[in-house]
Amino acid sequence: MVANAPKKRANSAENASSLRVPGPKASVLDMIGNTPLVRLNQVTQHLPHSIEVWAKLEFLNPGGSVKDRAARAIIQDALATGEMTPDKTLIDSTSGNTGIAYAMVGAALGLKVALVMPQNASAARKRIMSAYGAEIIYSDPLEGSDGAQRLCKKLVDEDRAGKYFYANQYGNPNNPRAHETTTAAEIWRQTGARVTHFVAATGTTGTIMGVTRGLKAFNPAIQTFGAQPADSFHGLEGLKHMPTSIVPEIYDESQLQGTISVQTEDGWDMAEKLANKEGIAAGNSAGANVWAALQLAEQLVQQKLPKAVIVTVICDHADRYLLAE
């Protein structure tokens, strides 16, 4: 009986696991969303147990990041309205994740994709986009995401033949709408309607603006905060320091309760802690999100708030930052 016990436990675990296996999908696009929400237990040990911090694991989307949601919404809407057709090429600027998402969705739908990105974007991201068949156009590495935006807009303005569909993730309302209708609804459901605060970093700002509107539609008392780099010269890939950047058209800071500044070192250090303390290998933008969420949690403790349910986002996986050139 003793010798057989481990086998019985293993079979029991296998049976329990099989009950959670998702059903078949018509295409990879149907795998986007419905990502897990996981409580952070180790990096929050200094907090009272009643102050909860949860992370939405967006790297489990098929394209590996939170940007899958916006890319799918932007492309599907453009196809429905006729702005995007099989003979056109989708073009947009990207720091990496949205580009990968565009490339993946484009490959699944048989569409051509061209991506403008800084020359110094991570090697892993460049390789993934190329694997999906996207064309990559490089912008000045010293100009960051703003430089990629400017070059992309120049190419679109010079497109007399109508070759391109300009997806414009920084100004396309389908970017935040994707999060308003999916991410926010998932968070509301997964927390059992207990969510009290949401924190997300500002890049295109689609996540923070969309989730803000979605959650406040469920409960106007929910507070949302944007996290952004503390200065313009930072190493948090994909994020914008709003006072010195081209502000996205979709961004409206007045809808937030406030912003939290993050130093580059804090974002990177938290990403390392997430890996070796929580078992979550995340990118540095996710590290910035969690660091900001913990700052908010500590403020709530100081304010003697009896309980809170804070949710943030793990934007992507560490593998996009760790692969060698």
Q: Residue 62: what pLDDT?
A: 97
Residue 154 a catalytic site member: no
Q: Is the dihedral of CA 322, 34, 236, 197 positive or negative?
A: negative
Q: Which of 140, 159, 139, 47 is nearest to 93 (CA)?
A: 139
Dihedral of the alpha carbons of 157, 120, 169, 208, in degrees to the nearest 10: -150
Place of tokens 């304010």: 303
Catalytic residue among 67, 112, 126, 240: 67
Sheet holding 223-229, edge to edge: 37-39, 51-57, 308-314, 197-201, 223-229, 258-262
pLDDT of residue 3: 45
Q: What is the pTM of this model?
A: 0.90
**Which pLDDT does position 144 carry in this prediction?**
84
Residue entry with tokens 């809808």:
255
Q: What single DSSP character describes residue 316?
A: B
Per-residue pLDDT at 10: 45
Domains of the chain by range and CATH? 25-64+173-322 (3.40.50.1100), 67-166 (3.40.50.1100)
Beta bridge partners of 118: 139
Q: What is the pLDDT of residue 172?
A: 98
Catalytic residue check, 285: yes
Contacts with 319 (C-beta within 8 Å, 6 or more apart), sequence order: 124, 281
* Helix (H) or strand (E) segment spanning residue 39: strand 37-39
- The rounded distance, in Å, linking the Cα atoms of 215 and 197 is 9
Comparing CA positions, the residue from 126, 118, 34, 36 lying closest to residue 72 is 34
Q: Please state, in angstroms and as integers, the Cα–Cα distance from residue 109 to each residue in 81, 105, 167, 299, 305, following that order.
A: 16, 6, 16, 46, 49
**Coil, strand or helix at 282:** strand
Could you tell me the two tokens for 154?
């120049």
Q: Would you state the pLDDT for residue 5?
A: 45
List phi, psi (to 5°) of 307: -155, 155
Catalytic annotation, pick one of 65, 93, 145, 285? 285
The whole-number pLDDT of residue 230 equals 92
Per-residue pLDDT of the chain (325 residues; tens, 9 = 90+): 444 444 444 444 444 444 567 789 999 999 999 999 999 999 999 999 999 999 999 999 999 999 999 999 999 999 999 999 999 999 999 988 999 999 999 999 999 999 999 998 878 888 999 999 999 999 998 888 889 999 999 999 999 999 999 999 999 999 999 999 999 999 999 999 999 999 999 999 999 999 999 999 999 999 999 999 998 888 888 788 999 888 999 999 999 999 999 999 999 999 999 999 999 999 999 999 999 999 999 999 999 999 999 999 999 999 887 754 4
